Amino acid sequence: MTAKVETAMEQIEIATGVLVVGGGMTGVETALQVASQGYAVTLVEGGAEIGPGAESRPRGALPDGADLADRVARVRASDRIEVLSGTRLDAVAGLAGDFRAWLGTAEDVIERRFGAVVLATEFAVKPLFLGYQLSPGKAVIGQSDLENRLAEDPAAFAERTVAFVVGFAQNGNPLVMQRVFNSVKALQAAGAAGVNVFVADLKVADDGLERCYREGRDGGALYFKLKAAPQIATAEAGVTLTFPDPVLRRAVNADADLLVVEEALEVTAANADLAAMLRLDLGPQGFLQADNIYRFPVATNREGIFVVGASREARSLAWALTDARNAALRVRELLGDGKRSVPRDKAVVDIGKCTFCLTCYRCCPHGAIYWLAENKPVISPVACQGCGICASECPMDAIQIGGFRDDEVQGRIGAALADVNGDPAIVAFCCQNSALAAGEMAAQFKMPLPAGLRLVQVPCAGKIDLQYILDAFVKGADGVLVMACHPGNCKSERGNTYAGWRVEDAQRILAGAGLDAERLRFATLAANMGSDFRAIVVDMAQKIQELGKVSQ
């Protein structure tokens, strides 16, 4: 059932330099890791410093006692790493193995060629005073301010009462929480008279945080978990917080000399610009990675562009460095020794048929198509994922996908239907990333499946042409299923969306031809769900049973 693809390969030369954007600790680690594999690295940082000076994780969110400076020294000492501080990434063109970047320094714009790009941008730390209708003052400060003061003059907090509000102006995350827990402990060490933390949810889902929280609590800190922020009255000498007490069943007051307001760790505006420049799908909260399991951990929709640390999530430095090492692995896999063997026919444009409409360029979810000076679309065999979306969308049928040329797929539809005898024939077009495995699972586990069911593999549901669907009916199918990944689970982001649209179009055509539109169904499922596959096909078979075979 699985199509065995025989393809001619060709050797191509690719650039092996690597551009790392962002000079915080994650960018520094990425540069070191990539350079240790023998690649030349250009590390670009907008600010003047790299390393701790460019790191956006506030001091309260950094691990205690870790030697960060040493890594910067190693970057400086490496003859494979070029550090360009005070430099902007102005523009990027090209594709994996052949990116061209323009780097703007104070004096000049430098043009360079790279094989891969790693984005290690930082976040912005944003105080959330507005979320509590407060403004900073003597008695109301932000978390960063507290951390700085605790580092500079802890004695100033002796005998003082400090309150925190956290989780009411944002959902928050373990990094936000870790800062509070650390400050609580530092206040206790400084001899504070009392610490009260007003919190929506304790976000303790990272290493050691539950313990850190308990240490503060055992040291006398009081935690009040509330559904809504306490009422806050500010005065020159301090604040009064009012909140419902579930035990006493009435509103109670707590006074504090100082109220510490939580901060958000947000992406910077630069992310949106980078996404536009690099044709990346912007993810939730403005991170540079879509929420899609195929991007785990450091991939983007574009081959050769990787995202690490704060560019993809707000998490601890340890996890950000984990990303850096994963990015180095991916870079190595992509760039190798600079020679790559790629299939000749992964996706090929027949220029004779092409009318230069740009459809393919626009719809390719992986940014794998580029435009030559002589106005010709060319598909990069390195960047192309072979999904076939472009082939199915091209109005001229000018693109063919290796292993899934139109004639091959149509031949398979015919062959699949040839041996259905008597039973209602159902052709299921199965995305090889989800439905195919689920279908094979159902068969291997001997789940009862309709006798006339035949599977036709496609590289992505986005490759299911309108023509294939109609062809299946012409060749004798009584029903057709288009089986794709759940929305948000498509490796090519939108292949399932395109497939759904084509099903709607085909249903209209079927209805126009006097066939019940119910003979064609669209369904989504995951690779691990043989039982879902079974339910979908059995339901379909029942429907076809009701409708009867198509009378030819």
Partner 1 sequence: MNSQTKKVMVIGGGIAGLTAAWELAAAGVEVALVEKAPFLGGHAIQYACKATDTCQQCGACGVEKMLANVVACDRIQVHLAAEVASVSGDGPFTVALRASGSAPAGAGACGAGYDADPQACAAGRGYSVHNGVFYGPDGSFDPRRVAAPADTTVDAVVLATGFVPFNPAEKPTYRHHELANVVTGLELERAKRIFGDVRRPSDGRLPARMAFIQCVGSRDERLGHLWCSQVCCPYALRSALATKHKHPEMDVTVFYMDIQNTTNSFGAFYDQCKSALRFVRTIPVDMYEAPDGAVRTRYMTEEDGAPVDEIFDLVVLSVGIMPGADNSALSRTLGIDLNGDGFFARPDLLNTSLTGRSGLFVAGTAGGPMTIAGAMAHAGQSAAAVLQYLGRASR
Strand order in the sheet with 250-256: 231-235, 238-245, 250-256
Reading the block at residue 40, the tokens are 């030349």
Among ligand SF4, partner 1, none, what does residue 524 contact (CB within 5–8 Å per kind)?
A: partner 1
Does 354 contact ligand SF4 by CB under 6 A? Answer: yes
- Determine if 289 is a binding residue for ligand SF4 (CB under 6 A): no
Query: Would you count residue 357 as binding ligand SF4 (CB under 6 A)?
Result: yes
Does the protein bind partner 1 through residue 171 (CB under 8 A)?
Answer: yes
Query: Residue 343 CB, nearest distance to ligand SF4 (Å)?
Result: 11
Q: Out of 2, 285, 355, 542, name the contact with ligand SF4 by CB under 6 A.
A: 355
Contact between 535 and ligand SF4 by CB under 6 A: the answer reads no
**Using the rule CB under 6 A, which residue among 121, 385, 400, 457 binds ligand SF4?**
385
447 binds partner 1 (CB under 8 A): yes
Question: Toward partner 1, which CB reaches closer, 193 or 538?
Answer: 538
Q: What angle do CA 55, 59, 60 make, to 5 degrees?
A: 135
Segment lying near ligand SF4 (by CB under 6 A), choices 262-270, 362-370, 469-477, 532-540 = 362-370
User: What CA–CA distance (Å, rounded) separates 417 from 430?
Assistant: 15
CB of 41 to partner 1, least distance (A): 14
Binding partner of residue 34 among ligand SF4, partner 1, none, CB under 5 to 8 Å per kind? none
| Residue 95 binding: pick among ligand SF4, partner 1, none (C-beta 5-8 Å cut-off by kind) | none
Say if CB 404 and CB 3 are below 8 A apart: yes
The stretch near partner 1 (CB under 8 A) out of 108-116, 150-158, 180-188, 327-335 is 327-335
Nearer to partner 1, 105 or 285 (CB): 285
Nearer to ligand SF4, 114 or 498 (CB): 498
CA distance 179 to 143: 8
In sequence order, what DSSP letters do the residues of 496-518 get, joined into one string?
A: HHHHHHHHHHHHHHHHHTT--GG
The interface mask with ligand SF4, positions 181-220, x = CB under 6 A, is ------------------------x---------------
Q: Which stretch binds ligand SF4 (CB under 6 A): 141-149, 336-344, 394-402, 444-452?
A: 394-402
415-425 burial code (b ≥16 CB/10 A, e <16): ebbeebeeebb
Torsion, Cα 265 270 276 281, to 10 degrees, reads: -10
- Among 293, 415, 418, 451, interactor with partner 1 by CB under 8 A: 293
Residues near ligand SF4 (CB under 6 A), total: 34
Whole-angstrom distance, CA of residue 309 vs CA of residue 306 = 10
Q: Which does 398 bind (CB under 5 to 8 A by kind): partner 1, ligand SF4, none?
A: ligand SF4
Who's near 208: CB < 8 A, 6+ residues apart? Answer: none
Tokens read off for 140: 């109301």
Select from 54, 128, 278, 317 the one that contacts partner 1 (CB under 8 A): 317
Cα distance between residue 51 and residue 351, in whole Å: 49
Which of partner 1, ligand SF4, none does residue 322 bind to, with CB < 5 to 8 Å depending on kind? partner 1
Q: Is 347 in the site for ligand SF4 (CB under 6 A)?
A: yes
Per CB under 8 A, which of residues 495..534 are in contact with partner 1? 524-532, 534
349 near ligand SF4 (CB under 6 A): yes
Instruction: Please report, for residues 30, 84, 334, 385, the alpha-carbon distance to residue 17 in angstroms, rounded to integers and kept in the order given.
Output: 13, 15, 12, 22
Q: How many residues does the chain have?
A: 552
In angstroms, rounded to a whole number, what is the distance separating the alpha carbons of residues 221 and 227? 19
CA distances from 507 to 406, 496, 499, 544 (A): 21, 16, 12, 15
444 binds, among ligand SF4, partner 1, none (CB under 5 to 8 A by kind): partner 1
Q: In the structure encoding, which two tokens stand for residue 248, read together?
A: 């006493």
487 binds partner 1 (CB under 8 A): yes
Which of the residues 12 through 51 are near partner 1 (CB under 8 A)? 33, 36-39
Print burial letters for 369-400: b (CB count within 10 Å at least 16), e (below 16). bbeeeeeebebbbbbbbbbbbbbbbbeeebbb
Q: Distance between CA 328 and CA 338 in Å, rounded?
A: 15
Phi–psi pair at 457, nearest 5 degrees: -80, 140
State which residue, 69 or 358, has the beta carbon closest to partner 1: 69
* Residues of the shown chain interacting with ligand SF4 in the complex, contacts defined by CB under 6 A: 205, 293, 347, 349, 354-360, 364, 366, 368-369, 377, 379, 384-390, 394-396, 398-399, 401, 486, 489, 526, 528
